[in-house]
Amino acid sequence: MFNFIKNYMNKKKSVNEQKSEDKDANKKIPSSIDKVLNYFKSEFDNSLDLTIREIDITKTKAAVITMEGMINKQIFANSVLNPIVSHCNDDNLNVKEKYEYIKNSILATSEQVEVDTYDQAFKLVMSGFALLVFDGYNKILAIGVQGFSFRGITEPETEIMQKGSREGLVEALRINVTLIRRRIKNPKLKFEVLSIGKTSQTDICLCYLTDMVSDDNLDELKRRLKKVDLENILAAEFITPYLEENGDISFFSTIGITERPDTVCGKISEGRIAILVDGTPTALIVPYLFVENFQTIDDYSSRPYFATFTRWLKYAAFFISMMFPGLYVALAGFNPEIFPDQLISKIYYSVADTPFPLMLETLLIHFVYEIMREAGLRLPKPLGHAVSIVGALVIGETAVNSGLIGAPTLMVVALTAISSYVIPNLYEATAILRLIFIIVGGTLGVWGITLLFSIILVNLCAKNNFSVPFMSPISPFNLYSMRDVLIRAGWKTLSKKTEKIQNMPH
């Protein structure tokens, strides 16, 4: 009983605190400039980057509030400060008339927002706006003079292409919007900005074509985004769990991710919605299909027969990276008669000369490989070559010659590791499933491998992504859509009909 009362009081207290915060956030701007400036100084606690420049406009006290490092000082001086000081010299205007005169006739900036609450003012000044405050007027004019530093546009490191664009998304949201707009010059392309994250107040942008997108999918996406209760959004992947279906238990994500603006444009042309997160150089794609993990821009820049060949290579690499070590352990341990005589003798002698069972030996090599991979990712680039050299000497030569690891097992793991890099989007899922397949194959044999594969297949076929089956168009099967799955048809065939994602068979 006591715990119940305590929990009830804590809940009531949190609700009251939330109401107090909401009330404070919607607090109106007073007409006294001293109160406004004091409130800014107290809220920011005299932070180093808060800059307040007090000026006199024809005997009217005013101030300009900015954040250091978030504005372009040259634009601010030439388009805001100098014009106000030099050209506003009419003493007969009252405060409101001066405000309107400066807003409509003096300022040379295209982006101007009128705010009347502290919450709006705080968000804009921390987004690179300059706030113009007048004594005796209860509204603030926010002027767009953004000029913060950002990384230049470079080629994406995770999606290397032989043909096509070399441009990749960057951390600045506005730059990413420009990269997409340059490729789709259509007024139907809409960019809708939302704000999530209780503390960070991170801007996210929904990109879609109004004549192609499903209204139901768009409404559902906004509903899920409203449920994001994180304090800080520091990467696009932070919100991925909130976008997936409730109760989704799977190693494979139903949310696509890309660093390429041309890939984003291709997806939204099919009725998808792209989500850009300010501060991260990646875009999320919804809805997303499993087969799209095997499609790249290079497929559509190559001739159809070669694109089909490379796509089959990707499918083969996926199964090799996920199942090959487990299948090797299962066959060598339970069904060795399947191997040719010369091969089984090699495997037999290698297992006999090593101190570990075959399953433990395979797991050990994979564990060492994952350690090397993680070290190669985290180390500075000049030291990355040292990891490769140590790996080749320690694992490739010394371990085999000393009899700790068998050569056939090492070959299996090496082929698996190479295959896993063919489909980088699925590496996380295949890395964990690979270990599970090894354990199942070493304990239950081929029948265990078959059972586990069936469970994974059923799980994939049961997944939905914004009411679109994740395994479309394989399950449910759609013959027409298969022209871009197992094969890649020519552009004359692909261009005959653009199919919306929401029209995929259910």
d(CA 429, CA 408): 25
What range does the domain containing 270 cover? 173-288
Domain membership flag for residue 137: yes
Are the C-beta atoms of 392 and 400 separated by less than 8 Å?
A: no
Amino acid at 476: P
Residues 228 and 366 in one domain: no
Q: Does pTM surpass 0.85?
A: no
DSSP symbols for 139-196: -EEEEE-B----PPP---SSS--SSS------S-HHHHHHHHHHH---TTEEEEEEEE
Write out pLDDT tens, residues 164-195.
788 899 988 889 999 999 999 999 999 999 98
Same domain, 309 and 458: yes
Contact between residue 253 and residue 240 where contact means Cβ atoms under 8 Å apart: yes
Q: What does the pLDDT read at residue 45?
A: 85
Does the residue 80 lie in any domain? yes
- Same structural domain for residues 306 and 418? yes
Average pLDDT value for residue range 116-143: 90
**Per-residue pLDDT tens digits for 249-302:** 788 999 999 999 999 999 999 889 999 999 899 999 999 999 999 988 888 888
More confident position, 93 or 281: 281
What pLDDT, in 10s, does the model give residues 344-377? 888 877 777 788 888 998 998 888 888 888 877 7
Indicate the angle between helix axes 304-334 and 427-462, nearest 10 degrees: 90
pLDDT tens digits, one per residue of 5-25: 445 455 444 444 444 444 444
Residues 101 and 214 reside in one and the same domain? no
**Residue 92 is assigned to a structural domain of this protein:** yes
Number of folded domains that form the chain: 3
- Residues 415, 347: one domain? yes
Angstrom distances, CA of residue 351 to CA of 229, 343, 403, 407: 53, 12, 9, 9
With respect to residue 168, please indicate whether it lies within any of the assigned structural domains: no
User: Are 235 and 112 members of one domain?
Assistant: no
Confidence of residue 206 (pLDDT cuts 50, 70, 90): very high
Asked if the structure places residue 479 within a domain, the reply is: no
Statement to judge: residues 308 and 444 lie in one domain: yes
Q: What is the DSSP string of 376-396?
A: HHHS-HHHHHHHHHHHIIIII
The answer to whether 51 and 67 are in contact (CB under 8 A) is: yes
Last residue of some domain: 98, 129, 144?
Answer: 144
Same domain as 349, residue 253: no
One domain, residues 22 and 112? yes
User: Is residue 165 assigned to a domain?
Assistant: no
Domain assignment of residue 496, yes or no: no
Higher pLDDT among residues 432 and 478, named by residue: 432
Least confident of 32-41, 287-296, 412-421, 474-483: 474-483
pLDDT at 123 over 50: yes
334 and 356, same structural domain?
A: yes
- Cβ atoms of 116 and 42 within 8 Å: the answer is no
Has residue 249 been placed in a domain?
Answer: yes
Residues in the chain: 506
Are 218 and 242 in a shared domain?
A: yes
Q: Assess whether 83 and 217 both reside in one domain.
A: no
The number of C-alpha atoms within 13 Å of 337 and in the hemisphere containing its C-beta is 0
